[in-house]
């Protein structure tokens, strides 16, 4: 299968790389990491102005409608520079509204998602070993709407978001529900994450909500798949950025009169990184193709497993080959390690992905 990017996607890659290189500098990253929201609002505005925030959203909402591949290209470039903007969470939520929301929801929410004037986030995870597709948060009907009760964990970048897309279960099955970020019956607890970003623990006590789609219609499963692929794309970029730092450092650092890059043990470490990054890339684009073809469950879990397992291996190795400077927070490679660690456990770690993959394969029909 040919995963070569077409001209449109190469143009997206070039524009994104230029913006992130200009804006996500080491000095800017340090400033954002101590800011109130931990989000680079200037960079967010720049992504909106250039149309990148709406790259995958439908044209009728003001987006470019370029498909999931364009989002993956954007996220890969973001990961290379570990740029502190909540692209994956906001875009996945907007895609869920675009694909499953009512005309009113699309009209009210998507234009702001495209121009950056409003932001969405997702609340897919819970405390405990719960599959994100099988939430414990409860949705009960309330007239024309719903009331949500439960606790959602590690909601990404919630401070500054206008609405939260919450996974909850109703009598008819699991589904997606929109809640205003300041709704009655909703409380937030700020929490630091490994990446220096702020997340939120969201407690819902009969909070009013609107359904996105119909509970039990599969919208939650498709959204979890989109989120998994988005995280795999982000992790691919994080791993590539880490190796770039390692290659630069090892080419310049001299020991025993020779650059460290010429030592065989170091070369083997980076060769392993190259192999794992290539596997991550192939599995990511296989998953993108599978989603577009409608048979994605196994391919998405394979891509997510590789992102979690191999991505974490890569950032571990790149810190290791830096020696002591790898853990110096004044040197940029530590951010790739922190991001790689955080992404590897989002929506469940590698072991959970393998268990879910086993369930999918066991349920698949056997070819005669």
**Cβ contacts of 161 within 8 Å, gap of 6 or more:** 86, 90, 119, 120, 121, 181
pLDDT digits (tens, 9 = 90+) for 230-268: 999 999 999 999 999 999 998 888 888 888 888 888 899
Same structural domain for residues 208 and 232?
A: no
Q: Rounded to whole angstroms, how far apart are CA atoms 66 and 296?
A: 19
pLDDT digits (tens, 9 = 90+) for 75-131: 999 999 999 999 999 999 999 999 999 999 999 999 999 999 999 999 999 998 779
Same structural domain for residues 138 and 109?
A: no
pLDDT digits (tens, 9 = 90+) for 89-105: 999 999 999 999 999 99
Same structural domain for residues 97 and 138?
A: no
Q: Which of 212, 229, 248 is the last residue of a domain?
A: 212
**Cβ contacts of 13 within 8 Å, gap of 6 or more:** 5, 73, 76, 77
- Residue 317 lies inside a defined structural domain of this protein: yes
Six token digits for residue 338: 């922190």
Q: Which of 212, 245, 267 is the last residue of a domain?
A: 212
- Residue 368 lies inside a defined structural domain of this protein: no
Instruction: Tell me the pTM.
Output: 0.96
Q: Rounded to whole angstroms, how far apart are CA atoms 187 and 152?
A: 11
Which CATH number fits the domain that encloses residue 107?
A: 1.10.540.10
Six token digits for residue 304: 């997510």
- For the chain, the C-alpha Rg in angstroms (whole number) is 20
Domain residues for the domain of 170 are 120-212
């Amino acid at each position: 299968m040919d995963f070569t990017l077409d001209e449109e996607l190469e143009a997206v890659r070039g524009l994104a790389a230029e913006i992130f290189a200009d804006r996500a500098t080491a000095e800017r990253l340090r400033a954002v990491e101590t800011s109130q929201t931990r989000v680079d609002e200037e960079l967010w505005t720049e992504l909106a102005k250039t149309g990148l925030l709406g790259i995958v959203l439908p044209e009728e909402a003001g987006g470019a409608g370029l498909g999931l591949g364009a989002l993956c290209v954007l996220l890969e470039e973001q990961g290379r520079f570990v740029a502190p903007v909540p692209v994956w969470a906001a875009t996945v939520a907007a895609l869920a509204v675009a694909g499953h929301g009512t005309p009113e929801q699309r009209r009210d929410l998507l234009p702001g998602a495209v121009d950056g004037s409003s932001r969405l986030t997702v609340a897919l995870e819970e405390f405990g070993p719960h599959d994100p597709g099988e939430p414990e948060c409860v949705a009960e009907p309330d007239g024309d709407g719903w009331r949500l009760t439960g606790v959602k964990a590690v909601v990404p970048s919630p401070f500054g978001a206008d609405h939260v897309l919450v996974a909850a279960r109703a009598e008819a099955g699991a589904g997606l529900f929109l809640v205003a970020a300041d709704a009655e019956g909703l409380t937030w607890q700020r929490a630091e994450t490994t990446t220096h970003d702020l997340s939120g623990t969201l407690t819902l006590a009969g909070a009013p909500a609107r359904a996105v789609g119909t509970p039990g219609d599969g919208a939650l499963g498709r959204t979890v798949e989109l989120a998994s692929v988005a995280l795999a794309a982000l992790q691919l970029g994080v791993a590539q950025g880490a190796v770039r730092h390692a290659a630069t450092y090892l080419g310049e650092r001299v020991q025993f009169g020779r650059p460290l890059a010429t030592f065989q043990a170091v070369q083997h470490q980076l060769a392993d990184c190259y192999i794992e990054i290539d596997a991550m890339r192939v599995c990511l684009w296989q998953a993108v193709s599978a989603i577009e073809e409608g048979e994605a469950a196994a391919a998405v879990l394979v891509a997510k497993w590789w992102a979690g397992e191999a991505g974490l291996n890569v950032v571990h190795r790149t810190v290791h080959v830096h020696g002591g400077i790898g853990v110096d927070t004044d040197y940029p490679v530590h951010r790739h390690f922190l991001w790689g660690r955080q992404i590897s456990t989002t929506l469940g770690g590698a072991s959970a992905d393998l268990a879910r993959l086993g369930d999918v394969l066991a349920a698949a029909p056997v070819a005669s």
